């Protein structure tokens, strides 16, 4: 009996131990399985939004870089290139007043003298003939050019160019013109080519010479210029420019003269004159008993001669001054030639360099002068002095 109870107790304990072990195993399996859903839920939402915003903004710099380069590279050259020539135009230089007030504004005594030459037939002299000479017309130096530190003077009487550099003179001899009237009065130098021609109405082409004086070619003139005559030649921005006597402007392009514009003039012969150049209208007043002539436009400046008259003195009654105005008609500077000592007024007495600086050629009684005048807002006129001397002689 006791043995049976003991066996039953042993079996009951074994069953309870087995049941307890089974429950413990099931619970451990459930606990071991629980980390899997925890990693899936936690890691996926954390990594996915973190990587997506990091990679998505990466292309953003591309659209930013394109608009930045386009406005920087394209518009910049245009505003820079347009005003470039203007700063090279030098302002009118101011000089101290001369010690002698009587020479104020004189284009020789109140100036820097570049060169002086005597008249004559010698090699180092410049040719001049008076209209009273037998079988001769009045001929004198008519034009000059300053280029690359050299002064070129058109010695019209002797068909040559006198070259001055560093105190030394040399010469470029041209062929003898075919006709007596076809002597050289206008000259320009462009790219080591010398353009020199007569300003008469009878020529039909402009000869071109090299720097030794050899004829290279003849450039035909437009029919209108053949009828009206050449007024002046000059170089501008590496191009040959020509004006006829009616102020039509031509540029030499591909071997022929192409008309660029015509300068309209109102009030010719009087002190008040209006020039029209395209859309620009320039009103200039040169003073009582005066008139302007010899026009040259260069970068919003007007370069001209002004003749001032006094009807009470003997002929020639005019005094020549050289003036610069702006497009508003304001005087920027002037210089005057002492009419009492003038031998002749050259046809092309003014030269303007690329900086806008004015040089003058004066044919005086004692020789030819090339000067850079000290430009003044006023000058001393000698016409009243002449009038006083005439009145004194009459008394």
- Asked whether the beta carbons of 205 and 218 are under 8 A apart, the reply is yes
Q: What is the pLDDT of residue 21?
A: 47
Note whether residue 14 is domain-resident: no
- Asked whether the beta carbons of 368 and 117 are under 8 A apart, the reply is yes
Note whether residue 261 is domain-resident: yes
Assign 3-class secondary structure to 283-308: EEECCCCEEEEEEEECCCEEEEEEEE
CA 257 to chain centroid, in Å, comes to 21
- Asked whether the beta carbons of 139 and 183 are under 8 A apart, the reply is yes
DSSP string, 159-184: TEEEEEETTEEEEEEPPPPSSTT---
- Nearest 5 degrees, angle CA 369-CA 370-CA 373? 110
Cis peptide bond upstream of 308, omega within 30: no
Q: What is the pLDDT of residue 73?
A: 52
- Four-residue CA torsion sign, 103, 105, 106, 109: positive
Note whether residue 215 is domain-resident: yes
Note whether residue 311 is domain-resident: yes
- What's the CA gap between 55 and 43, in Å, rounded? 19
366 Cβ neighbours under 8 A, 6+ residues apart: 118, 341
- What's the CA gap between 322 and 294, in Å, rounded? 9
Q: What is the pLDDT of residue 159?
A: 92
- Asked whether the beta carbons of 269 and 262 are under 8 A apart, the reply is no
Note whether residue 273 is domain-resident: yes
Note whether residue 89 is domain-resident: no
CATH for 308:
2.120.10.30
DSSP annotation of 129 reads B
- What's the CA gap between 325 and 315, in Å, rounded? 28
Residues of the chain with pLDDT under 70: 1-87, 131-136, 179-182, 390-395
Beta strands 367-373; 150-155: pairing state: unpaired
Domain ranges, residue 153: 99-394
Q: What is the pLDDT of residue 382?
A: 86
- Give the CA distances from residue 269 to residues 266, 273, 274, 306, 307, in Å, rounded to whole numbers and listed in that order: 9, 8, 11, 11, 10
Interhelix angle 35-55/2-33, nearest 10 degrees? 0
Q: Residue 385's closest CA among 290, 327, 312, 330?
A: 312
Sort 111 into a burial class: Cβ within 10 Å, 0-12 / 13-18 / 19+: buried
DSSP string, 175-212: PPPSSTT----EEEEETTEEEEE--SSS--EEEEE-TT
- Asked whether the beta carbons of 269 and 288 are under 8 A apart, the reply is no
Note whether residue 78 is domain-resident: no
Number of domains in the chain: 1
Q: What is the pLDDT of residue 114?
A: 97
> Within a 10 A sphere around the Cβ of 43, how many other Cβ atoms?
10
- What's the CA gap between 373 and 333, in Å, rounded? 10
Q: What is the pLDDT of residue 274?
A: 94
235 Cβ neighbours under 8 A, 6+ residues apart: 145, 147, 188, 189, 190, 241
Q: Residue 306's closest CA among 317, 293, 297, 296?
A: 293
Note whether residue 84 is domain-resident: no
């Amino acid at each position: 009996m006791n043995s049976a109870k003991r066996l039953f107790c042993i079996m009951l304990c074994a069953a309870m131990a087995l049941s307890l072990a089974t429950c413990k195993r099931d619970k451990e399996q459930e606990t071991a399985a629980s980390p899997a859903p925890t990693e899936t839920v936690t890691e996926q939402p954390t990594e996915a939004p973190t990587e997506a915003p990091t990679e998505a903004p990466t292309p953003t710099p591309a659209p930013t870089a394109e608009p930045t380069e386009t406005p920087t590279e394209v518009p910049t050259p245009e505003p820079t290139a347009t005003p470039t020539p203007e700063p090279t135009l030098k302002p009118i230089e101011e000089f101290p007043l001369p010690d002698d007030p009587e020479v104020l504004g004189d284009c020789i005594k109140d100036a820097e003298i570049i060169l002086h030459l005597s008249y004559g037939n010698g090699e180092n002299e410049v040719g001049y003939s008076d209209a009273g000479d037998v079988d001769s017309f009045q001929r004198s130096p008519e034009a000059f050019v300053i280029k690359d530190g050299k002064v070129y003077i058109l010695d019209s009487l002797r068909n040559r160019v006198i070259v001055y550099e560093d105190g030394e003179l040399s010469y470029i001899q041209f062929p003898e013109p075919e006709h007596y009237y076809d002597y050289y009065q206008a000259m320009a130098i462009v790219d080591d080519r010398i353009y020199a021609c007569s300003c008469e109405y009878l020529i039909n082409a402009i000869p071109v010479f090299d720097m030794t004086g050899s004829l290279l070619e003849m450039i035909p003139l437009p029919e209108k210029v053949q009828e009206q005559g050449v007024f002046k030649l000059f170089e501008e921005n590496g191009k040959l420019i020509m004006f006829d006597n009616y102020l039509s402007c031509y540029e030499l392009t591909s071997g022929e003269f192409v008309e660029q514009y015509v300068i309209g003039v109102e009030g010719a012969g009087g002190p008040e004159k209006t020039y029209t150049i395209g859309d620009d209208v320039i009103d200039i007043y040169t003073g009582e008993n005066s008139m302007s002539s010899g026009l040259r436009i260069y970068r919003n400046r007007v370069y001209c001669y002004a003749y001032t008259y006094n009807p009470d003195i003997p002929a020639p009654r005019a005094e020549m001054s050289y003036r610069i105005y702006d497009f508003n008609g304001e005087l920027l500077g002037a210089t005057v030639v002492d009419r009492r000592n003038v031998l002749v007024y050259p046809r092309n007495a003014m030269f303007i360099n690329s900086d806008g600086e004015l040089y003058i050629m004066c044919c005086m009684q004692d020789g030819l002068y090339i000067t850079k005048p000290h430009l003044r807002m006023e000058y001393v006129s000698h016409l009243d002095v002449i009038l006083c001397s005439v009145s004194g002689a009459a008394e």
